[in-house]
Amino acid sequence: MNLALYKAMMKSHSKLLITYSCSVFLYLYLLVMTFPMFAESQQLNDVLKGLPESVQVAFGIQGNLSNVNDYMAMNFYNSLYLYILMAYAILTAIQLVSRFVDRGSMAYLLSSPVSRVQVINTQAMVLITGLFVVNLFTYFGGYLGVLSFTDKNGFDMSIFTQMNLIVMLIFLVISAYSFLFSCLFNEEKLAMGASFGITILFYSLDLASKLSEEIDWLKYFTIFSLYQPQKISQGDYNVLSTSMILSIVAIVLFILSASLFKRRDLTL
């Protein structure tokens, strides 16, 4: 980790980070504003309940719209937020290494006395910081929304925190394997293709496993099956051990990235 590099990277990354953070903050905050309206509308709840069970499971809408935790999970965490984080995690991971190698500016970073491993670790820290900040803004957006627009009675802070933590750690792993590709490929396009390809594959496997009982074993092959806001809210999700496993996987992937990058021939 090199402080000068970290500061410079954070500075040039800041515009993107601020855009993402403000967007998720505002979106979730305003989403909660619409909660009281829906909570009172029994009609919509009935429509949702009328959908086939498997569709409800697949799209994470089997919850209760009159609970604000479920409301946020269904309307944001289970949909738009996943796509936003996918885009942010992958694009940032690719930008931080692969783009520098592809465009040649890595030559400058590596011509300094900062070692390859230190450069990569610094870039990884920038990625982790960014992911943390986006998640933090989401967390506060939701929390402030609840404080401003609801009567707080149905809101469970601890479950909301756990849900945010698990989402962040899942995306930490997604960032980490994208970062690994970023460190391995010479071409930005290739690294990006691999990262998006695998992530979308994981996502489809998760959807498929939920839609049909017969292929529900697919859930063992996708990271998204760990993301179950319903289970978290019902309290039968092992938050502690899942967080530990996700963190360890992410750390291993980051270490692997640095050590493979160190051994590579770079055409700079």
Partner 1 sequence: MIEVNNLTKEFSNKKGLFDVDFKVEKGQIFGYLGPNGAGKSTTIRHLLGYVKPQKGQAKINGFDCWSESEKIHGQLGYIPGEIAFVEGMSAVDFLNLMSGMRGTKSNEKRNELIARFDLDIKTPVRKMSKGMKQKLAIISAFMHDPEVIILDEPSSGLDPLMQREFVDLLHEEKKKGKTILISSHIFSELEDTADIIAIIRHGKLIKTQDVHTLREEMAKNIYEVEFQNQEDVHSLMNSDLAISNHEGNKATISVDRDVNEIFKYLSRYKIKKFDVPKQRLEDIFMKYYNDKEEHL
The residues binding partner 1 (CB under 8 A) are 2-5, 7-8, 11-12, 99-100, 103-105, 107-115, 263, 265-268
Nearest residue (CB) to partner 1, 11 versus 217? 11
**Nearest-approach distance from CB 154 to partner 1, in angstroms:** 45
**Nearest-approach distance from CB 14 to partner 1, in angstroms:** 10
Nearest residue (CB) to partner 1, 105 versus 148? 105
**Nearest-approach distance from CB 259 to partner 1, in angstroms:** 14
58's tokens: 């697949």
Instruction: Return d(Cα 146, Cα 148) in angstroms, integer.
Output: 6
Instruction: Return d(Cα 256, Cα 139) in angstroms, integer.
Output: 30
Of 143, 184, 194, 109, nearest to 28 by C-alpha is 143
Nearest residue (CB) to partner 1, 51 versus 266? 266
Nearest residue (CB) to partner 1, 96 versus 146? 96
Distances in Å between the Cα of 250 and the Cα atoms of 46, 172, 177, 190, 243 are 41, 6, 8, 21, 11
Q: Yes or no: say if 70 and 152 are a contact pair by the CB < 8 Å rule.
A: no
Q: Yes or no: say if 257 and 195 are a contact pair by the CB < 8 Å rule.
A: no
**Nearest-approach distance from CB 89 to partner 1, in angstroms:** 20
**Nearest-approach distance from CB 119 to partner 1, in angstroms:** 9
Nearest residue (CB) to partner 1, 12 versus 42? 12
